[in-house]
Amino acid sequence: MRPESMNIFDDLRGQNMVVLENAKQSGRKVVGMYCAYCPQELVLAAGAIPVSLCGTKDEPIADAEKVLPRNICPLIKSSFGFAITGKCPYFYFSDFVIGETTCDGKKKMFELLGQHKPMHVMHLPQGADRPGALPWWKEELSLLKERLEETLGVTISDDSLREAIKLSNSEQLAIKELHDLNKFDPAPLSGLDLLTATFMKGFNVNKLEGIALVNKLIGEVKEVIEQGGSPFQPDTPRILLTGCPVGIGSEKLIRLLEENGGSVVCFESCSGYKTLDMLVDEDERRDPLEAIAERSLKIPCSCMTPNEGRLDLLGRMIGEYRVDGVVDLTWQACHTYNVEAELVRGYVKDNFDIPCLHLETDYSSSDLQQLKTRVTAFIELLDKRWT
Amino acid sequence: MITVGIDVGSITTKAVLMNGSAWQSTLRPTGYSPRQAGREVLDELLDKAGLAQADIDYIIATGYGRITLDFADKAMTEITCHARGAHHLAPGADLVIDIGGQDSKVIFTDGYGNVTDFSMNDKCAAGTGRFLQVMAAAMGVDVSELAELARGMEPVQISSMCTVFAESEVISLLAEGVERGRIIAGIHRSVANRVVAMAERIGKGELIAFTGGVAKNEGVKEYLAKALGREIVVSPESQLAGAFGAAIIAREKLLKAR
């Protein structure tokens, strides 16, 4: 049985567009972002609405390829295509766009995108283990703060930042609680539903309403658990999905895994658990910018070197979610995740002795059959009910 | 207990009927209709064995056309089936190299036919039977003649793995007057090296079984053995490995259900 609230989540993206348009008309400012490193706390503190910009569908890629090289990742091409064709309403409504240097393709793409919207690119350090990394990143946050104040004509006070931190933290805690419910076996939520509910965060205009909705869903999922319900049969292989971020439109791998006998119980990606697992320190005596900087530098993204935090998180999740196998997804031409796949594979094999499948694909359906063979074979290998 | 395994490959459809320890097999080109090819090999087997379809206890379909066979009791991937089939044909094999018409795969097993890890080529035809077919056509020979023509020849370097680019490369080499046998040897070596790179990413097998249609090519086999530094077992029935595996798994399933 599917929780009733999921129907609301299904339609949310479209509905929020109307809410956003109304908010715009009443004078609210909108700030578009692409990445987990982008501090939504600063946007909230500026009294603006933070939104995630579209970039998870195949549809606008052909348009992007008129400008961008073909052999870069689908996420960059999709984001750019959505923006230049006006097909992403969130980009269209944005007064300001924040980019970040998480990869070479993205940072150069942002230079082209800057021709379409006022934009600011945050410069990330290459890793978090150098003494200069935190001061550098904090400095980048104050630079962004200045740009936001200047562009939106507002002042961001420490108090408003502290309030925004609390709001963001509570949103994150709610989504994390939802994820954690999938530690039950069999999982009460399908991977696809978990993704749909999590994805809401990026385009939810009213944060409090969004949090309330997630809490409502949590209540329903708890009922599902109490009644022993699940979209899966007992003993369905439990799979952890890691690697590049997945969104609505690029969920083909989750579909394939679940349609062919698996249960995607959790996501270790920046669209999933990777960013849910740590909060910004709410200590009132601290400089709020430093607290935000500290938190986001802990995100174990493959753009960082070294990135041991990802392996630690993977290990914890493998244990806590009691997964039978790990699937590591790389979007084509995402070099950092592609190379890191070798570390993930070794780590999973050496420490947990469970199978790990690395797949490289894009948003298109051109390789569905080949992917299906790999995915099905992987599930046949995990499925104790058969062998 | 009678079981059937049908492996509908992109080029050839293979079927094995097992009745206790006795078995029969048949194969035919897949053609444009995988569904029809699957039906035809089954009818042929039934004919050979003098049986009716109702006498068959369980049918497993595998290969790229596996889902089109609605008369099968179950569909399973060629990865699982090849591993089990290779174990039957080469007992104890823990690394199975399967090069078929449109895919090449390396499959690691526990030595008892159960998959522990695998890798598969990209979606293109590089290093597959199709690749060899296209190259053979570019040189005006049949794919079955390749190994003989390349015997003892010093391989020329073939740099391109893309089927279309490699075809241009072969045509350029022919135009330069390079001996055909040397080009073919180069092609064999490049197919082997690609699979070796895939295998060595995952591990090192002790006993290697080579299956799929390309296993019939002595040239590819030799370069594989050379690059991997180990002996490679090619059973006379290696092309039937997937169908064998499917029939065996069907049998095991029935035995387990008892």
> Best mutation site among A375, A376, A384, A385 for testing chain B: the one with the most B CBs within 10 Å?
A376
Q: What are the φ and ψ backbone dihedral angles of B183, each rounded to 5 degrees?
A: -65, -45
Per-residue pLDDT tens for A26-41? 999 999 999 999 999 9
> Best mutation site among A257, A381, A382 for testing chain B: the one with the most B CBs within 10 Å?
A381
Per-residue pLDDT tens for A106-139? 999 999 999 999 999 999 999 999 999 999 999 9
> Best mutation site among A330, A369, A374 for testing chain B: the one with the most B CBs within 10 Å?
A374
pLDDT at A384 over 80: no
Task: Please report, to the nearest 10 degrees, the dihedral formed by the alpha carbons of residues A85, A89, A90, A94 taken in order.
Answer: 80
CB pair distance less than 8 Å for A373 and B118 = no
Mean pLDDT of A154-158: 97
Mean pLDDT of B160-184: 94
Q: Count chain A–chain B contacts defined by CB atoms under 8 A.
A: 37
Check CB contact of B125 with chain A, cutoff 8 Å. Answer: no
Q: Grade residue B124 by pLDDT with cuts at 50, 70 and 90.
A: confident
> Best mutation site among A260, A343, A348, A370 for testing chain B: the one with the most B CBs within 10 Å?
A370
Concatenating the DSSP letter of every residue in B117-181 gives EEEE--SS-TTSHHHHHHHHHHTTS-GGGHHHHHTTPPPPP----SHHHHHHHHHHHHHTT--HH
CB pair distance less than 8 Å for B123 and A366 = yes
The predicted structure's pLDDT at residue A230: 95
The predicted structure's pLDDT at residue B125: 83
Per-residue pLDDT tens for A293-344? 999 999 999 999 999 999 999 999 999 999 999 999 999 999 999 999 999 9
Residues 6+ apart with CB under 8 A from B219: B146, B147, B150, B151, B184, B185, B188
Mean residue pLDDT of chain B comes to 94
CB pair distance less than 8 Å for A369 and B64 = yes
Mean residue pLDDT of chain A comes to 95
Check CB contact of B131 with chain A, cutoff 8 Å. Answer: no
CB pair distance less than 8 Å for B79 and A373 = yes
Contacts of B117 in chain A (CB under 8 A): 355
State the angle between helix axes of A133-152 and A288-297 in degrees (0 to 180), rounded to the nearest 10.
120
Q: Do B256 and B248 meet the contact criterion of CB atoms below 8 Å apart? A: no
pLDDT at A386 over 80: no
CB pair distance less than 8 Å for B116 and A370 = no
CB pair distance less than 8 Å for A381 and B116 = yes
Q: Do B37 and B90 meet the contact criterion of CB atoms below 8 Å apart? A: no
The predicted structure's pLDDT at residue B97: 96
Residues 151-210 of B with CB under 8 A from A: none
Mean pLDDT of B78-87: 96
Contacts of B253 in chain A (CB under 8 A): 386
State the angle between helix axes of A6-25 and A191-199 in degrees (0 to 180), rounded to the nearest 10.
20
Mean pLDDT of A47-74: 96
Mean pLDDT of B184-207: 91
Contacts of B78 in chain A (CB under 8 A): 373, 377
CB pair distance less than 8 Å for B115 and A366 = no
ipTM value, please give it: 0.93
Q: Which residue of B has its CA nearest to A365?
A: B123
Q: Give this prediction's pTM.
A: 0.95
CB pair distance less than 8 Å for B116 and A380 = no
Q: Grade residue B193 by pLDDT with cuts at 50, 70 and 90.
A: very high
Per-residue pLDDT tens for A236-247? 999 999 999 999
The predicted structure's pLDDT at residue A341: 97
Beta strands at A325-331 and A356-361: parallel, antiparallel or unpaired = parallel
CA A346 to mean position of chain CA atoms: 25
pLDDT at B241 over 50: yes
Per-residue pLDDT tens for A273-293? 999 989 999 999 999 999 999
Of A242, A248, A250, the residue nearest A357 (C-alpha): A242
Mean pLDDT of A46-74: 96
pLDDT at A216 over 70: yes
Fold of B1-90+237-258: Nucleotidyltransferase; domain 5 (3.30.420)
Domain B92-234, CATH class in plain words: alpha beta
pLDDT at B136 over 80: yes
Q: Spell out the domain ranges in chain B.
A: 1-90+237-258, 92-234
CB pair distance less than 8 Å for B115 and A377 = yes
pLDDT at B194 over 60: yes
pLDDT at A387 over 50: no
Fold agreement between B1-90+237-258 and B92-234: yes
